Amino acid sequence: MPTWCATAIASPNIAFIKYWGNRDDALRLPANGSISMNLAGLETVTSIAFDPQLGNDEFVFDGVLQSGPALARVTTHLDRLRSKAGSILKARVESRNNFPLGAGIASSASGFAALTVAGAAALGLTLSERELSILARRESGSASRSIPAGYVEWYAAEADPDSYAESIAPPDHWALTDVIAIIDSRPKKTGSAEGNRLARTSPRQAARVADAPRRLAICRRAVREKDFTALAEILEEDTRLMHEVMRTSTPALNYLVPATEKFMRWIPAWRAQGLPVAFTIDAGPNIHCLCPMESAAEVERRLREIPAVERVLVAQPGGGARVELG
Ligand code: DP6
């Protein structure tokens, strides 16, 4: 029986102000700060066992033994944890998502947040939330934001210890709902790690980054004061800026499909007609519709009427990454 085991749970998050591009790729220090909301009910559960009998790390994802880049990314992250704990033990990692992979929901965020928390617990490391966030950031930028609860801001900084995420409001502060229209669940051709490296090739990236403090201030205030009108405007503006950078990178990236572009016209029109809803889009074609809880049923009904929508997921503000006890 292995001695060093733990299980942790983490939720993915949806960024209101996006992370896209690093000032330092090796340390994953982001070019700009970002703000997000954890997604309750969507979960990655990760169990880890460090075992003296193992000759290599093993990684089983959704019941399938992994090799190649997926295993390499887990091993690289385990090496960080091992070096902190002074351990040389290899580990068996088993991870499950309760949401569809490739649904346009960044599973690396919940995946590396859960792996960080489970790995630290199994190795007996006592780390603060800030230290866990810094560690998670090293393998997936958005994972830093899945460590704290609720509405979260991740700070851009020059140095590793200063770039972490913390909660700016708890989950019950504001019952926003993310109604997610899955338009295409196939895996994307260019992953976010590669996309983040290409961001600096866009002539638009410098202006997007320089303007980020303004967008962050508007978004932070909108969240704190529950100002949906202000949030809606900045959410859509920030999304357009990120997709503009993607389209003008070399090579050019376009994650959107014609149906996504239709929603980008329809959703502001729905809002103008009185339905409080705004869109944001990550590195994929799917649309996240943020709305107050009271409008979620109507937003969901309208999305389901559209043939291009494969399925709809609904999530409210979620908690932070945590060890599963017992
Ligand atoms: C478009 O955090 O997935 O979702 O650091 O390589 O894991 P890695 O990239 P990732 O990039 C997220 C990009 C985004 C915007 C965001 O979540 O802020």
**What are the pLDDT digits (tens) for 204-252?**
999 999 999 999 999 999 999 999 999 999 999 999 999 999 999 999 9
Counting atoms of ligand 1 from 1, which one is nearest the CA of 242? Answer: 1
Q: Which mutation among 110, 151, 196 tests ligand 1's pocket best, with the greatest number of atoms within 8 A of CB?
A: 196
Q: Which mutation among 11, 20, 142, 208 tests ligand 1's pocket best, with the greatest number of atoms within 8 A of CB?
A: 142
Structure tokens at 244: 């503009």
Q: How far apart are CA 133 and CA 113, in angstroms?
A: 8
Would you place residue 100 in the very low, low, confident or very high pLDDT band (cuts 50, 70, 90)? Answer: confident
Q: Whose CA is nearest to atom 1 of ligand 1?
A: 282
Q: How far apart are CA 186 and CA 108, in angstroms?
A: 16
Angle between helices 212-225 and 228-247 (to 10 degrees): 150
User: Considering the chain, what percentage of its residues have pLDDT values greater than 70?
Assistant: 97
> Tokens 């978004």 belong to which residue?
219
Q: Whose CA is nearest to atom 7 of ligand 1?
A: 140
Q: Is the pLDDT of residue 99 over 90?
A: no
Cα(52) to centroid(ligand 1), Å:
34
249-293 tens-digit pLDDT: 999 999 999 999 999 999 999 999 999 999 999 999 999 999 999
Cα(300) to centroid(ligand 1), Å:
25
> Cα-flanking dihedrals φ and ψ of residue 247, to 5°?
-65, -25
List the strands of the sheet with 287-292, edge to edge: 278-280, 287-292, 176-182, 311-315
Q: Length of the chain in residues, anyone?
A: 326
Comparing CA positions, the residue from 290, 306, 302 lying closest to residue 238 is: 290
Q: Is the pLDDT of residue 186 over 90?
A: no
Over the range 182-207, which residues count as b (16 or more CB within 10 Å of their CB) and which as e?
bbbbeebebebbebbebbbebebbee
Strands (E) across 150-234 are located at 151-154, 165-169, 176-182
Q: What letter represents residue 255's amino acid?
A: Y
Would you place residue 184 in the very low, low, confident or very high pLDDT band (cuts 50, 70, 90)? Answer: confident
Residues having CB within 6 Å of any atom of ligand 1: 15, 18-20, 28, 34, 106, 108-109, 140-142, 192-193, 196, 282-283
